[in-house]
Amino acid sequence: MHEKKTIFYRAYNEAMKIRVDLSSSTKDSSYDILIGSGIVNAKAGDEIINVFNSAGLKNRAFVITSETVSGLYRSLLNGFLENAGIKPVVLSLPDGEGTKSLKYLSYIYDELIKNRFERGDFIIAFGGGVIGDLSGFAAATYLRGINFIQIPTTLLADVDSSVGGKTGIDHPGGKNLIGAFYQPRCVIIDVDFLDTLSERELKNGFAEVIKYGAVIDNEFFIYLENNYEKILSRHKDSLMHIIEKSCAIKADVVNKDEKEAGLRSVLNFGHSLGHAIETLYNYETVKHGEAIAIGMVFASMLSEDLGLCTGETAGRVKTLIKNSGLPVKVPDFSPEEYINAMKLDKKVKGKLIKFVLIKDIGSFVFKELDFEYLMKFLKKIKDRRLDNL
Ligand SMILES: NC(=O)c1ccc[n+]([C@@H]2O[C@H](COP(=O)([O-])OP(=O)(O)OC[C@H]3O[C@@H](n4cnc5c(N)ncnc54)[C@H](O)[C@@H]3O)[C@@H](O)[C@H]2O)c1
Ligand SMILES: [Zn+2]
């Protein structure tokens, strides 16, 4: 049997390269993730040209971006692509989750057809997770699939949404209800884009980074405990390190379970309660990373309550989240409201919901929990405010 592994190496001058090896899936959709500082500039270096060449990008590309990113970086990206011999057609869409919708997907198809984009051409997603998910789904479906490249510009997109091939749009009936698994031909991550990201958005992405350490990699978690201040002050080497590590961890999980048949759901640590919080706030007020930060604290407390981990382990998760300036307190909705919202989760089977729980830092266990127990636990923390540090 073909052994799947992530090849992870430093390449060229400053850029690092991670190979996402999907060669044993039905269609070989392996690709490179290039990570560096200042690698997207008007003098596209050889390393970029090589990655573009091996991805097959030659002539023209349809760039999808958001208004904010376009305002900040449009001419930089145009210069970068033109220098690499690629003619861009740029489509700039409004900021916000509302853009991940059928309306804008349809607009993208119109523009692709109007500009006569063909099978061999490329779509480039240039922005955060909203742009990445929407563009990826457009690429997966236009002409039954055209080439796709991600150039993420938020920390969340660097460490999470640009890796793993989940693409899609929201529906008024729920988030991410329509979509496809579709892998990019390459991902170019330049940490310099994070210079202009708001602090709140930076922390939003950092929550997912903490998740990787908490349930998958003990050493990485210790690194985060020791360096979170440096990272959040945007120290370039630290940012590159956490992005490189997060991409490698996520790529490894995806390599082993691309379509989320089992293992990949470890990436849902903190997400069961997190999604409920987002639903109860109607996807406003609270950001995804903030919601899952609370969800991770909650899942750690549950793990302790079930005797799966020590109070010290649960405490370390909570402390790192709190020290990073992310919220830890379960918002004041009623236990009944939480249970009803959690019942909408994809991981529900009858009276049970599959939870990712923590054993030690860096190791996890899946457990099906019944809603009655969860209701009691939610009441307990509400009465005793156990989630207050
Ligand atoms: N596909 C996946 O596996 C996956 C995983 C996690 C999240 N997601 C999706 O990702 C989306 C959230 O992504 P996000 O957190 O990146 O939000 P986002 O894409 O909405 O970006 C946040 C804001 O930051 C702005 N921005 C982007 N880059 C910037 C920069 N360099 N400087 C200044 N401003 C910048 C954007 O214009 C936007 O207003 C959600 O729709 C979520 O469902 C997908
Ligand atoms: Zn998430």
Q: Express each pLDDT in 86-145 by its tens digit.
A: 999 999 999 999 999 999 999 999 999 999 999 989 999 999 999 999 999 999 999 999
The predicted structure's pLDDT at residue 241: 96
Establish whether residue 164 lines the binding site of ligand 1, counting it when its CB lies within 6 angstroms of any ligand atom.
Answer: yes
Displacement of CA 364 from its chain's centroid (Å): 19
Q: How far is the CA of 204 from the centre of ligand 2 (A)?
A: 10
pLDDT at 325 over 60: yes
CATH number of 208-389: 1.20.1090.10
Strands in 41-165 per DSSP E: 60-66, 87-93, 122-127, 147-152
Residue 140 CB contacts under 8 Å (≥ 6 apart), including other chains: 148, 167, 180, 182
Domain boundaries, the chain: 7-197, 208-389
Active site residue 19: no
Convert the pLDDT of each residue in 249-297 to its tens digit.
999 998 887 777 778 899 999 999 999 999 999 888 999 999 999 999 9
Distance, in Å, from the CA atom of 198 to the CA atom of 193, rounded to the nearest integer, reads 11
Convert the pLDDT of each residue in 294-320 to its tens digit.
999 999 999 999 999 999 999 999 999
Q: What is the mean pLDDT of residues 24-46?
A: 80
Q: Is the pTM of this model over 0.85?
A: yes
Convert the pLDDT of each residue in 57-82 to its tens digit.
878 999 999 999 999 999 999 999 99
The predicted structure's pLDDT at residue 84: 86
Distance, in Å, from the CA atom of 267 to the CA atom of 1, rounded to the nearest integer, reads 26
Average pLDDT over the chain reads: 91
pLDDT at 7 over 60: no
State in words which class domain 7-197 has.
alpha beta
Active-site position among 271, 287, 316, 318: 271
Between the CA atoms of 291, 315, 300 and 322, what dihedral angle is there, to the nearest 10 degrees?
10
Q: How far is the CA of 3 from the centre of ligand 1 (A)?
A: 33
The predicted structure's pLDDT at residue 12: 40
Active site residue 271: yes
Distance, in Å, from the CA atom of 156 to the CA atom of 357, rounded to the nearest integer, reads 22
Establish whether residue 97 lines the binding site of ligand 1, counting it when its CB lies within 6 angstroms of any ligand atom.
Answer: yes
Establish whether residue 161 lines the binding site of ligand 1, counting it when its CB lies within 6 angstroms of any ligand atom.
Answer: yes
pLDDT at 208 over 50: yes
Nearest ligand, CA 127 = 1
Answer with the residue of higher pLDDT: 326 or 13.
Answer: 326
The predicted structure's pLDDT at residue 347: 81
pLDDT band at 341 (very low <50, low <70, confident <90, very high): very high
The predicted structure's pLDDT at residue 3: 43
The predicted structure's pLDDT at residue 215: 97
Active site residue 241: no
